[in-house]
Amino acid sequence: SIPSLWRHVAIEYAFSLKKSSLYNEERDAERTLCLRHEVISKWKEIGIDFQNNCVFVDEAGFNTRMIRDRAWSK
């Protein structure tokens, strides 16, 4: 359940929900884009179907246009 997940993340990992900035400059940096490309290439080599069989958390996905107003912080 959502409350159980919330408790686990907040207590076990000492994370809290904070207001996030609208844009992280490193997100679209050349280095970050190259690293993402390398990861996806490795996934394709070993047969991972990342479009149908993966769950992305926060900004780990591919849509850089999504903006959240809250984020986990430690």
72 contacts 16 by C-beta, under 8 angstroms: yes
> Residue 42's pLDDT is what?
92
How far is residue 21's CA from residue 10's CA, in Å, rounded to a whole number?
20
pLDDT along the chain (74 residues), means of 10: 79 74 76 90 88 69 58 59
> Residue 38's pLDDT is what?
93
Predicted TM-score (pTM) of the model is: 0.43
> Residue 72's pLDDT is what?
58
